[in-house]
Amino acid sequence: MHEPTTGTALMFGLALRHLRTQAGLSQRELGRKSLYDHSRISRAEQGDILVPIEQVRALDAALDAGGLLVALRQAADLRPVAPPMVPGDDDDEPVMLEVLTADGKKVTVSISRRRFGHMLAGGTIASILPGTVDPAQTQRLTQALERPARLDDEIIGYFRRVLAEHYTADKMLGPAGLLQPVLAQIGVLDDLRKGARARQIEPLMQVLSQYAEMAGWLYQDLGELNTALHWSRRAAEWAQCAGDRQMAAYMLIRQSNITGLTDDHAAVVQLASAARRDPAGLDPKLTALAAQQQARGLAMLGEHDECYRLLDEAAETLRDHPQVTEPDAPVYLHHYDLDTLDEQSAFCHRVTGRADTAAAILESKIDRLPASFNRDRGHLTAKLAVAVAQSPHPDLARAAHLGREALTIARQTGSARIRRELDVLNAELLHRGPGTPDTRTFHEALLAETKTPGQRTPGV
């Protein structure tokens, strides 16, 4: 008899029911295909039992699940038991979680936000979300979810670590699979805020602001700029409540970055300039990032000399301050360095007529990018394709080839930032090489993606 580990059994059952329904099979039909009792399939879908691992393999094969069911079943032997559900657990809005199978397929399961919190506490969702919980953290998080007054530094630290893992996962997966978990975790944190003790309010609000910033970033990558600005402003508000001046200034930079996608280049300069207006008490890396962002806006406004002066100023600051001075500084600053600045400067070089320099920079960054950073590779490849097309001596065949590579990754990740660059590339190819086979092939591929049902397009 296999007793269920509550959270894992529920997740397994949700995935099993979704896969069976998607395959158009009844429980009896699936039972015949997998040689398993249909009544036990019914109980498994309800989360009442855990199917033996040897039978799970047969179900996985019958449903062409790519190993997902096996992975979820194996998680039952590794995860601590989640707390039992209490009445009313399912009475709030659902959380949609995208689960990736081993062969790249996506399965979407729906659970209530409160159940998400309990499963998060039990470690069940660690198989599909970054970040894990050790037994001690499990007990603390469970108690805090039931009684927010028991919130402590360990729980806040846990959410910080999960957020750091989200940033790493974003570079690989893009926004589509991370957005709903991040929003759900914001919901859990906001519930904790309502009952937390005074001593925990400021650190909790700081974490909330960081999660809201992440939500804004994911919406930006999806091309939903108005929603991205909403969450960025919410993050700034929570940062002010937390007394976190670093984050408040950083959110001006983030708003500057988003505004740049609306072609309001004056606002880009104004917001970035405001972020570094009073540098006393700010992390030097933050002022360098603000200078870099301001330089981007100036490049678009045609103020090229001032653009490069600010890039030089940012580089000098980063050379003098290679590490963050504040351990709780915004997550991005911990990874912001001269190499990142160099990559970002490619935009300014391209805009100011130095496309070959931009291409050389981007080629170097792509060559050194970790193989797992799929979304980042797609974005850099798309930018490289534009630079190659805009060169004084353009190689349009290569640009189109790079564009097709990036388009594949855009499809996989849902990144509208990649699509935005590819729209620029498409216009450049149609201008410089209309009617050529490479231009036509890329244009048709891009057009086919745009017409794909459910495909997101940039919200600009």
Judgement on whether residues 374 and 413 belong to the same structural domain of the protein: yes
Q: Per the domain annotation, does 218 fall within a domain?
A: yes
Question: How much is the mean pLDDT over the chain?
Answer: 82
pLDDT at residue 195 in the model: 77
Judgement on whether residues 182 and 252 belong to the same structural domain of the protein: no
Whether the pLDDT of residue 241 is over 90: the answer is: yes
pLDDT at residue 1 in the model: 42
Query: Taking residues 354-363, what's their average pLDDT?
Result: 98
Query: Taking residues 28-35, what's their average pLDDT?
Result: 92
Does the predicted model carry a pTM greater than 0.85?
no
Judgement on whether residues 47 and 90 belong to the same structural domain of the protein: yes
Give which of 125, 115, 119, 332 is closest to 210, Cα–Cα: 332
Phi-psi region of 323 (alpha: psi -120 to 50; beta: other; left: phi over 0): beta
pLDDT at residue 315 in the model: 98
Instruction: Please identify, among 51, 78, 111, the residue that sits at the C-terminal boundary of a domain.
Output: 111
Q: Per the domain annotation, does 436 fall within a domain?
A: yes
pLDDT at residue 127 in the model: 40
Lowest mean pLDDT among 159-163, 356-360, 365-369: 159-163
pLDDT at residue 301 in the model: 98
Instruction: Please identify, among 78, 111, 144, the residue that sits at the C-terminal boundary of a domain.
Output: 111
C-alpha distances (whole Å) from 348 to each of 16, 204, 253, 335, 343 are 50, 38, 17, 21, 10
Domain count, the chain: 4
Judgement on whether residues 359 and 328 belong to the same structural domain of the protein: no
Whether the pLDDT of residue 392 is over 80: the answer is: yes
pLDDT in tens, 72-88: 777 555 444 333 333 34
Return the bridge partners of 94, or none: 112
- Could you tell me the CATH number of the domain that includes residue 45? 1.10.260.40
Instruction: Please identify, among 293, 319, 351, the residue that sits at the C-terminal boundary of a domain.
Output: 351
pLDDT at residue 108 in the model: 54
Judgement on whether residues 294 and 372 belong to the same structural domain of the protein: no
Structure tokens at 21: 């329904």
pLDDT at residue 269 in the model: 98
In degrees to the nearest 10, what's the CA dihedral of 208, 211, 215, 217? Answer: 120
pLDDT in tens, 393-404: 999 999 999 999
Judgement on whether residues 334 and 373 belong to the same structural domain of the protein: no
Q: Per the domain annotation, does 117 fall within a domain?
A: no
Q: Per the domain annotation, does 121 fall within a domain?
A: no
Spatial distance between the Cα atoms of 424 and 284, rounded to a whole number of angstroms: 34
Whether the pLDDT of residue 134 is over 70: the answer is: no
Using 50, 70 and 90 to split pLDDT, how confident is the model at 160? confident
Instruction: Decide: 24 and 17 in contact? Cβ < 8 Å.
Output: no
Q: Per the domain annotation, does 155 fall within a domain?
A: yes
Lowest mean pLDDT among 96-100, 121-125, 212-216, 270-274: 121-125
Lowest mean pLDDT among 68-77, 237-246, 421-430: 68-77
Q: Per the domain annotation, does 271 fall within a domain?
A: yes
pLDDT at residue 32 in the model: 92
Q: Per the domain annotation, does 460 fall within a domain?
A: no
Judgement on whether residues 412 and 324 belong to the same structural domain of the protein: no
Judgement on whether residues 286 and 230 belong to the same structural domain of the protein: no
pLDDT in tens, 283-302: 999 999 999 999 999 999 99
- Could you tell me the CATH number of the domain that includes residue 294? 1.25.40
pLDDT at residue 445 in the model: 96
Q: Per the domain annotation, does 211 fall within a domain?
A: yes
Judgement on whether residues 342 and 403 belong to the same structural domain of the protein: no
pLDDT at residue 49 in the model: 84
Judgement on whether residues 226 and 289 belong to the same structural domain of the protein: no
More confident site: 80 or 435? 435
Judgement on whether residues 178 and 255 belong to the same structural domain of the protein: no
Domain extent for 73: 1-111
Judgement on whether residues 239 and 272 belong to the same structural domain of the protein: no
